[in-house]
Structure 1
Amino acid sequence: MTQAKLRELLNYDPLTGVFTWRETANNRLRPGDVAGSVRKSGYVNLGVGGKLYLAHRLAWLYVYGAWPSKELDHINENKSDNRIANLRDVNRSQNCQNIRLPKRNTSGVKGVYFDKRASLWHARVYHDGRHHCAGFHARLRDAAAAYAALAAKVHTHNPMALTS
């Protein structure tokens, strides 16, 4: 898929992140119809030329004329929000900074767990392949604050940079 071919088949609105068909794709789809469908994972799939693509990767190609060099991160964590302002080309470590709270987490706070041996809350930030300790704390809210402070220093992800 090239940018020229993509632009020939589809329109893309960078403000909404929505693709629409430029031409009649088949008997069901008409010009102007929204292209793609949301997968169970939350990502939008788009079938073009007999091949399935992830819409956020096509959006990058449409706007920048090249495929992303690494992974694409949805800054606001909404996998179906394909506005170009919500996408950034990042390495794996940067993309992992922007993950939801793991299902196994019992503290309810990212990066914080209760250390039974110490009987304290342990805060730590994972960055560049290793854990950085943000300390042991008697109160959960102190551990959460310590995690947030350290993450703000070492992580490159800034969800506040995106305006809704």
Structure 2
Amino acid sequence: MTKDRSKRIPLPPQKLLLETFRYDADTGLVWWRQPKGSRKLDKSGGTVGGSGYLMVRVDGRLYTLHRIIWKMITGNEPMHLDHINGCRIDNRITNIREVTRSQNNQSIGLTRANKSGYVGVRYSTKDRSWTSYIKSGSKRIHIGNFKEKKLAVESYNKKAIELHGEFAMRKVQHNIFMLAKEFGSENDGN
């Protein structure tokens, strides 16, 4: 197993978090237990940070709220957490799961560098074809070259589900949505 080199600030003790916040599992929000400075009891804790996650300050240090909530509920401090539905501000405990770094990477959606609009598919000007590819662990797997974009996307979706299971669903759903948008709603993604 490879060593995870993530630099995480250790979270405060669970007892302190439970004394500081009240958690609403239905909304995924935390509420301050005591007013202090600009903190008000009728306002939920946290602000959206540059990364898109809700952030909260405890004892002068800034933390992602989903990690605070996880520790409040479970008492554990995992290396990686995943928002199952992909929404970084949806901190309902039913939407957060502990994952490995590899699983977390498998569930990441489309990146800014993507030009095709589809996860795992690019156009090869050299071959004049659509290429589908996927990563598994540290290995990049070439799935195939296709004359039709739709076939390249569908081959990626099939391989992603085969290799990554539930962690591929966000990417596959994105691709199915984009296929329906580009080729019409009769497309079922298979």
Same fold (TM over 0.5): yes
Shift of residue 76, structure 1, vs aligned partner: 1.7
Q: Is the 8 A contact 2:28 2:92 kept in 1?
A: yes
In structure 2, runs of 5+ residues without a counterpart are 1-11, 171-190
In structure 1, runs of 5+ residues without a counterpart are none
Sequence identity percentage: 34
- Identify the structure with bigger relative contact order (alpha carbons < 8 Å, sequence gap 6+): 1
Q: 1:58 is paired with a residue of what secondary structure?
A: helix
For 1:31, give the aligned amino acid: L
Shift of residue 159, structure 1, vs aligned partner: 4.4
Q: Does 1:71 align with 2:80?
A: yes
Q: Is the 8 A contact 2:122 2:132 kept in 1?
A: yes
CA distance, structure 2, for counterparts of residue 131 and residue 158 of structure 1: 15
Shift of residue 49, structure 1, vs aligned partner: 1.7
Q: What whole-Å deviation, never above 9, does each CA across 1:37-67 have from its counterpart, x for those lacking one?
A: 1112211111112221110100110110111
Q: What whole-Å deviation, never above 9, does each CA across 1:69-91 have from its counterpart, x for those lacking one?
A: x2111222211111112112212
| Consecutive aligned runs of 4 or more in structure 1 exceeding 6 Å deviation | none
**What residue in structure 1 maps to residue 131 of structure 2?**
122
**What residue in structure 2 maps to residue 46 of structure 1?**
56
CA distance, structure 2, for counterparts of residue 36 and residue 15 of structure 1: 17
CA distance, structure 2, for counterparts of residue 148 and residue 56 of structure 1: 29
Q: Is the 8 A contact 2:22 2:31 kept in 1?
A: yes
Q: Where do residues 92-111 of structure 1 align in structure 2 (5 Å cutoff)?
A: 92-111=101-120
For 2:68, give the aligned amino acid: L
**What residue in structure 2 maps to residue 19 of structure 1?**
30
Q: Where do residues 127-138 of structure 1 align in structure 2 (5 Å cutoff)?
A: 127-138=136-147
Q: 1:155 is paired with a residue of what secondary structure?
A: helix
Q: Give the TM-score taking structure 2 as reference length.
A: 0.77
Q: Give the TM-score taking structure 1 as reference length.
A: 0.88
**What residue in structure 2 maps to residue 139 of structure 1?**
148
For 1:84, give the aligned amino acid: I
**What residue in structure 2 maps to residue 57 of structure 1?**
67
CA distance, structure 1, for counterparts of residue 14 and residue 42 of structure 2: 19
Q: Superposition RMSD on alpha carbons, in Å?
A: 1.6
Q: Which has the higher helix share?
A: 2
CA distance, structure 2, for counterparts of residue 48 and residue 104 of structure 1: 35
**What residue in structure 1 maps to residue 91 of structure 2?**
82
CA distance, structure 1, for counterparts of residue 27 and residue 81 of structure 2: 17
For 1:11, give the aligned amino acid: R
